[in-house]
């Protein structure tokens, strides 16, 4: 699979998940995102994330393509805020060779 095919496949398979009111993560599946969040936070499993109230009560929520096209990503590039849709930012990350799953956006920075 060449780079272009890989990018096309990733654009089709990488999704964005709302983890809580402040964070969105990108990855191929809910399970992959949960595993990475647990790894980053040094917790055992999804039950511990729920207990600590880190994720929504019902679990993380995959965003629809329509929602990804609507939500706005604010990128602070060299002190200047650039606005893009979540889809545009995700595509930029894929083209840049980002490893997934990863933190996609947060309101905390």
Q: What is the domain partition of the chain in residue ranges?
A: 3-63+95-106
pLDDT tens-digit series, residues 80-95: 999 999 999 999 999 9
What contacts 3, CB < 8 A, 6 or more positions away?
none
**Angstrom distances, CA of residue 14 to CA of 10, 35, 104:** 5, 15, 11
pLDDT tens-digit series, residues 37-73: 999 999 998 899 988 888 988 889 999 999 999 999 9
- Count how many Cα atoms sit within 13 Å of the Cα of residue 89 in the half-sphere of its side chain: 23
Over the chain, what is the mean pLDDT? 92
pLDDT at 79: 84
Q: Which two tokens stand for residue 59?
A: 């679990």
What contacts 57, CB < 8 A, 6 or more positions away?
50
pLDDT at 1: 61
pLDDT at 51: 87
pLDDT at 109: 65
State the Cα–Cα distance between residues 95 and 51, nearest whole angstrom.
36
- Count how many Cα atoms sit within 13 Å of the Cα of residue 81 in the half-sphere of its side chain: 5
**Neighbour tally for 106: CB within 10 Å:** 12
């Amino acid at each position: 699979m060449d780079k272009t095919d890989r990018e096309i496949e990733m654009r089709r398979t990488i999704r964005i998940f709302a983890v809580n009111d402040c964070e969105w993560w990108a990855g191929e599946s809910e399970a992959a995102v949960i595993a990475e969040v647990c790894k980053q936070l040094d917790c055992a499993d999804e039950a511990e994330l729920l207990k600590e109230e880190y994720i929504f009560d019902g679990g993380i929520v995959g965003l629809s393509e329509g929602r990804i096209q609507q939500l706005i990503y604010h990128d602070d590039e060299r002190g200047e805020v650039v606005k893009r849709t979540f889809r545009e930012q995700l595509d930029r990350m894929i083209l840049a060779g980002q490893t997934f799953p990863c933190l996609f956006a947060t309101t905390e920075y």
